[in-house]
Structure 1
Amino acid sequence: MVATSRLLTPEAWEYHPVAEIAGVDEVGRGCLFGPVVAAAVVLSPQACAQLQSLGVTDSKCLSEARRESLVEPIQRLATDYALGLATVHDIERLNILYASLLAMSRALRRLSTLPDLCLVDGNQLIPHLHLPQRTVVQGDRIHIEIAAASILAKVWRDRLIVRLDRRYPGYHLARNKGYGSAAHRLALQTLGPTPQHRRSFKGCGSHQTRATVTSAQQNLQ
């Protein structure tokens, strides 16, 4: 299902046409490995319409190739966009919910254009954000702004995990993107967790830290 333009979304109608509206979404909450990544995207009504015609929707509904192909038009048509992340340390310190909200807050704070309204995917408001915000459950299937943010966050995080796969071989990260696939869980049992694994997550904390690291890996760390 293609996300609808904000022009067609009743809950955002009162802000049209002068308000700067940002959509924000995060990716990676359910992973065993790596950070949570968020993106914030500010779009004009015209950009929303153009991206809707290109098929922008929830990143989970798109193939990897399709997501990659949409990055350039999203970045080109956006009034502004920014990325933010919460590290594994943040996740362990705060918990995954608050780390996800932190990543979204960091993305919004990196925008050069402060929006008049933030549309937040999900049902949790972002704490300590001194901007008007509205939560939208399944917002990445309703608002183009949130859908565009979900695509940028997903593509950026996937690219990061592919790079980290070279640093931490054996976990099949380039394929599973940090999620708990059978091969990933088996590798955890055999190799133990890396510093980028979330120890508080089931399946990550019951093993010793990976002891055998090649000299090449050490040079990369």
Structure 2
Amino acid sequence: MLEPFVSCYKGELFAGVDEVGRGPLAGDVVAAAVILDPQKPIEGLADSKKLTEKRREALFIEIQKNALSFCIARASVAEIDQLNILQASLLAMKRAVEGLSVAPEHVLVDGNKIPTWSYPAESVVKGDSRVAAISAASILAKVTRDREMVELDKVYPGYGFAGHKGYPTKVHMQALEKQGPCKAHRVSFGPVKRQLEQLEMF
């Protein structure tokens, strides 16, 4: 297990990277990169999915205040449909790292895939629960995306985006069948594609 709050990894300044939003049927995929400051430890970092919304919101502010550097980036719905969700997720992570104000000497990426870039890097399976910097990145990405889905709910009412955040819940699937897809939906995803095909039949 990698120790949390270390400023260097194998003697190098490192960033933790994670993304949120690979599974939903709607909305952008959002990624974040974080370089933590060992002189300003942040208590309670964990996999964002295991934290309450209130705790994530509090940590969201604390991470931005105390990190050495952070960047939040994305790949759009159009890019997801064009590239596929895996490549779009890697693109979002690449943009997040490239947007850091402090260039990392090493990057630790959650999962088992690494974007194509010039940074020395390695993947860490379940990194969002093992590496503090990746946990911080997962929190920034999730809070950002959740907020955006709440806003999308106002733009495209009736789908329940504020509640399910675009994931294929029963409520979402029923709304999708009743209303058809909106511009926020990923048309390359099976359930959305099938609804479009059914609409084209009439």
TM-score range, shorter chain: over 0.9
Work out whether 1:106 is the aligned partner of 2:95. yes
Match of 1:181 among 169, 184, 191: 169
- How far apart, in 2, do the equivalents of 1:81 and 1:154 lie? 14
1:118 alignment partner AA? V
Work out whether 1:37 is the aligned partner of 2:36. no
CA RMSD of aligned residues (A): 1.8
State the Cα deviation string for residues 166-214 of structure 1 (Å, max 9, x = none): 00000000000111110000000000001111112121112249x9xxx
1:64 alignment partner AA? E
Percent identical among aligned pairs is: 47
1:36 alignment partner AA? V
Work out whether 1:86 is the aligned partner of 2:75. yes
SS of 2:100's equivalent in the other structure is coil
- Alpha-carbon offset, residue 21 of structure 1: 1.1
TM-score using structure 2 length: 0.92
- How far apart, in 2, do the equivalents of 1:46 and 1:24 lie? 20
What is the aligned partner in structure 2 of residue 46 from structure 1? 39
Q: Which 5+ residue runs of structure 2 have no aligned equivalent?
A: none
State the Cα deviation string for residues 112-149 of structure 1 (Å, max 9, x = none): 1100111100111111x111111100001111000000
- How far apart, in 2, do the equivalents of 1:37 and 1:115 lie? 20
What is the aligned partner in structure 1 of residue 10 from structure 2? 14
The question of whether the paired residues in 2 share the 8 Å contact of 1:4 and 1:141 is answered with no
Q: Which 5+ residue runs of structure 1 have no aligned equivalent?
A: 212-221
Q: How many residues align?
A: 197
1:74 alignment partner AA? I
What is the aligned partner in structure 2 of residue 218 from structure 1? none
- Alpha-carbon offset, residue 65 of structure 1: 1.0
- How far apart, in 2, do the equivalents of 1:152 and 1:33 lie? 19
- How far apart, in 1, do the equivalents of 2:193 and 2:23 lie? 15
The question of whether the paired residues in 2 share the 8 Å contact of 1:85 and 1:104 is answered with yes
TM-score using structure 1 length: 0.85
Match of 1:23 among 9, 16, 24: 16
1:184 alignment partner AA? H
Paired residues for 1:44-83 under 5 Å? 44-47=37-40, 50-51=41-42, 54-83=43-72
